[in-house]
């Protein structure tokens, strides 16, 4: 079973605009959240936040995210996977 979760954002801004950096950040945030979801999707059990932190924190920091954003990306990715697993009864807490 494959699940597609998307967040649509329509933004057209020129490069020199101050909103360009915000748009780039939001795209990176979305893409890296998807990366973490993809990495944990086929794990046999849902990883804990501690396990996610050890696996992805350094990778996300190297991409330029602040510590707060790294934690939020890890948490949101885990929530997405857990919601789908619980909904389809693949995983039970």
10 versus 32: which is more confidently predicted?
Answer: 32
Examine the pLDDT at 38 and tell me if it is beyond 80: yes
Examine the pLDDT at 7 and tell me if it is beyond 70: no
Determine the Cα–Cα distance for residues 36 and 30; give it in Å rounded to an integer. Answer: 10
* Torsion angle defined by CA atoms of residues 46, 47, 49 and 51, in that order, rounded to the nearest 10 degrees: 180
Examine the pLDDT at 93 and tell me if it is beyond 80: no
Per-residue pLDDT band for 42 (boundaries 50, 70, 90) equals confident
pLDDT confidence of residue 14 = 56
The string of pLDDT tens digits covering residues 14-27 is 566 778 888 899 99
pLDDT confidence of residue 54 = 96
Residue 92: CA count within 13 A, CB half-sphere:
1
Determine the Cα–Cα distance for residues 86 and 93; give it in Å rounded to an integer. Answer: 8
């Amino acid at each position: 079973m494959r699940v597609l979760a998307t967040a649509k954002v329509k933004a057209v801004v020129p490069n020199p605009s101050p909103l360009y950096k915000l748009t780039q950040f939001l795209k990176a945030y979305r893409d890296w959240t998807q990366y973490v979801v993809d990495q944990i999707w086929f794990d046999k059990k849902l990883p804990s936040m501690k396990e996610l932190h050890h696996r992805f924190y350094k990778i996300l920091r190297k991409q330029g995210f602040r510590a707060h954003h790294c934690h939020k990306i890890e948490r949101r990715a885990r929530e997405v996977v857990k919601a789908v697993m619980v909904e389809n009864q693949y995983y039970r807490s």
